[in-house]
Chain A
Amino acid sequence: MYRYRVVSVIEIRVDENACNGCGLCVKDCPMQVYELRDSVSVPVRAASCMGCLSCHEICPAQALEHRGVYPSRRHYIDIRVCEMLNRVI
């Protein structure tokens, strides 16, 4: 699939109560989407987000939420672990 994205549709929300202001997302984002303001991460340039979701992976508080991201195909889920989890859950 080949797409031109004229206007970014990604919307980023930060849970202010969960964010501990560690600044990891600020450091990690190559497009400087986030800025720390009053010890809380603020997505100041959400339009520049390309949806890599590195910030999700790096955020220790899991305070981020992205809407409108294209989810890439996932093949790396361990089938046996999932089966075990399903049994337990």
Chain B
Amino acid sequence: MTDGTIREMKDAFSTSTVYRSEDVPLRCIPPPDELEDTLHGLMKLNGLIIRSLEEIAGRGANAVTYRAGRKYGHEVAKYFRKIENVEEALKELSYILHGQYTIEIWKPADKDRYIIEENGSTFIYLVFHDCIVRQTLRRNGQPQGGPLCLTLFGYVVGAIEEITGKKAKLEIVHTGPNACLKKLILQ
């Protein structure tokens, strides 16, 4: 590295700003609309972590991330209001996750109720509209439904279990570029 390069780098990071310990930043710097590059960097990093995990743990990566997500969901939801009604619990969770994920309770046209009972199991269909996991995977050209998706599944299951006090399971029915269909199985 030449002296010129080092001097150039030093110049780029030298300012006359005085920073006191009581100077707590009150807003994002730079403003959010200039954070696009940072967001892309974060998405790439997340993709890299998941790819590395898949390389190391193979098919076990799904179980690892699901378990981690579920534990995190339980931990976070400990502080949420306890609600027995699953639909209400989903509403609460959706409100908390707003801005990151948007969830819609959904039913096929031929069903009358949102809570569906079929072949001895009770379930609710959920459509995930806005989802940073989907965005990350598509940004990096990675397939949907892998370990990163399962982290989110685990999180939702853990949170629902904690809020309602009931056991639950989530199943991927379909993944798409604009929305994903999941089945929340109540036990």
Task: Enumerate chain A interface residues (CB-CB to B < 8 A).
Answer: 1-5, 8, 30-31, 45, 47-48, 50-54, 56-57, 69-76, 78-79
Contact = CB atoms under 8 A, between A and B. Distances in A.
A75 B134 CA distance: 10
B108 A76 contact: no
| Closest 4 pairs between A and B when the two form their complex, measured CB to CB | A52-B176, A76-B139, A47-B109, A53-B178
B40 A72 contact: no
A30 B174 contact: yes
A45 B130 contact: no
Contacts, number: 89
Interface in B96-145: 98, 102-106, 108-110, 114, 127, 129-132, 134-136, 138-139
Interface in B31-53: 36-37, 39-40, 43
Nearest to B37: A79
Interface residues of B, number: 38
A50 B106 contact: yes
B91 interface: yes
A31 B108 contact: yes
B76 interface: no
B180 interface: yes
Interface of B: 36-37, 39-40, 43, 90-91, 94-95, 98, 102-106, 108-110, 114, 127, 129-132, 134-136, 138-139, 173-181
25 contacts: A1-B94, A1-B129, A2-B91, A2-B94, A2-B102, A2-B103, A47-B109, A48-B109, A50-B106, A52-B127, A52-B176, A53-B177, A53-B179, A54-B175, A54-B176, A56-B177, A57-B177, A69-B178, A70-B129, A71-B178, A72-B134, A72-B178, A75-B43, A75-B136, A76-B135
Given A71-B178, A72-B179, A79-B37, 15 more contacts: A1-B98, A1-B102, A2-B103, A47-B109, A52-B127, A52-B176, A52-B179, A53-B178, A56-B178, A57-B177, A72-B134, A75-B43, A75-B132, A76-B135, A76-B136
Contact of B131 (A3, A71, A72): A72
A79 B36 contact: yes
A2 B104 contact: yes
